[in-house]
Every structure is written in structure tokens, then in C-alpha cells.
């Protein structure tokens, strides 16, 4: 019972600070924290306790903060390609960058597609993107055999989908045999001689 009373009094105090502080007073907890930090710095408080002193800010030549992450310009849906044309670097807080769960650079998203809906103007979680499927199960793909100066190409039906670098099984359309190959960046499958 005592813990509940203490909780309610803290809740009432927080509400009074946030909503009843009068004009010009803080309206959110983050603003209150910033004001407390400024007061501590003005009084000559221990500089080691301030977050700014603990982690130096990354700045550009003009002295402005340079904390950016790639974000979509428009909402992207599952299967949409993440190309530089649909992405833009936008500023974010240090906490978001330090979490490490978001794509750090546009280059990290090259060749990826959205796995789920990516809202415009929001950082892109790495768990929300996947490699583009270059070969789709049941859709005829071009297969290429290259050994020395010899090159033979044909068509086969993949028995499984695959991304660049994955090994897939295919059924040769001419002979009906099952062959195995590696998916290439251009969408072909490279077959090796045994």
C-alpha cells in the first residue's frame, strides 16, 4: 500500500512539472532533463557526469552535428528495391545510431529489398531488409557453364529460390536432369563441371 502511495505521489509530481509549470516551462521529460543538465553545468557540476563529456560529438568543419542514417523518401513495401534514388541521409539522435540496429550507410543497403513496410522518414532496421531474390522457384532461369575457353548456356527450372551467391538445384529443360549451380548477380546460374 505504501509503495502504491509513493508511486501516485511521484506520478502527480511529474504531471505537475509537465503540465502545470506555467508558460515557458518544460512540457516533456526530455526537456526537463536538458534543463537539469544546463543547471548542473551552470553551477560547475562534475563534467564527467554529463553525456556530452562522456561521448564527444562528431562534428563537421562548421561545428554542426553530423549524425545521419539513410531513410526512405517514400513508403516502401515488401519487395521494393532499396536504391540510392529512394533513400536520403537524414539527421537522427545519437541514441538511435548507438543502438546499432539500423542500417548505418546507404552502401549497406545495396542489393537489398524491403522485407516489410518501411515508412518514409524513419530509420531502416537491418531486420526489415533482405537480399534480393535473383532466381525464383519455378521461373525459368538461364544457366551458364564456363570452363577454360568453353562456354555453354541453356535454360533450366529452379527447384528453389535463391539470392546472389546461394547454391540452388535446377531441372534441365532439355534432359530433365537435376543440376546444381551458384546464383550470379546478373540473374544467371553458373554451373561447374564435376
How does pLDDT run across 47-106, given as a tens digit for each residue?
A: 433 333 333 334 444 444 558 889 999 999 998 989 889 999 999 888 887 777 888 888
Give the mean model confidence (pLDDT) for residues 153-177.
93
- pLDDT grade, residue 193 (50/70/90)? confident
User: Residue 65 forms beta bridges with which residues?
Assistant: 59
Give the mean model confidence (pLDDT) for residues 133-153.
92
- pLDDT grade, residue 111 (50/70/90)? confident
Higher pLDDT, 35 or 130: 130
Report pLDDT for 39: 67
Helices and strands in the chain, H and E counts: 4, 11
The torsion defined by the Cα of 97, 99, 100 and 106, in degrees rounded to 10, comes to -30
Least confident of 37-41, 60-64, 127-131, 184-188: 60-64
Distances (CA, A) of 130 to 52, 77, 113, 162: 36, 13, 6, 12
Using a cut of 0.85, tell me whether the model's pTM lies above it. no
- pLDDT grade, residue 44 (50/70/90)? low
Of all residues in the chain, the percent with pLDDT exceeding 70 is: 65
Asked if 133 and 121 count as a contact pair (C-beta separation under 8 A), the reply is: no
Amino acid at each position: 500500500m505504501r509503495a502504491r502511495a509513493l508511486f501516485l505521489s511521484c506520478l502527480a509530481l511529474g504531471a505537475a512539472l509537465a503540465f502545470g509549470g506555467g508558460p515557458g516551462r518544460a512540457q516533456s521529460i526530455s526537456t526537463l532533463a536538458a534543463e537539469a543538465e544546463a543547471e548542473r553545468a551552470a553551477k560547475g557540476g562534475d563534467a564527467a557526469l554529463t553525456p556530452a563529456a562522456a561521448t564527444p560529438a562528431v562534428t563537421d568543419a562548421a561545428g554542426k552535428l553530423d549524425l545521419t542514417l539513410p531513410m526512405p523518401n517514400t513508403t516502401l513495401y515488401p519487395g521494393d528495391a532499396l536504391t540510392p534514388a529512394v533513400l536520403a541521409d537524414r539527421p537522427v539522435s545519437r541514441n538511435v545510431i548507438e543502438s546499432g540496429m539500423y542500417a548505418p550507410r546507404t552502401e549497406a543497403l545495396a542489393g537489398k529489398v524491403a522485407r516489410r513496410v518501411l515508412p518514409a522518414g524513419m530509420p531502416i532496421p537491418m531486420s526489415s531488409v533482405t537480399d534480393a531474390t535473383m532466381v525464383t522457384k519455378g521461373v525459368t532461369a538461364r544457366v551458364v557453364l564456363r570452363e577454360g575457353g568453353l562456354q555453354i548456356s541453356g535454360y533450366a527450372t529452379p527447384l528453389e529460390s535463391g539470392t546472389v551467391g546461394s547454391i540452388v538445384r535446377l531441372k534441365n529443360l532439355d534432359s530433365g536432369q537435376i543440376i546444381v549451380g551458384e546464383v550470379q548477380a546478373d540473374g544467371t546460374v553458373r554451373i561447374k563441371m564435376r
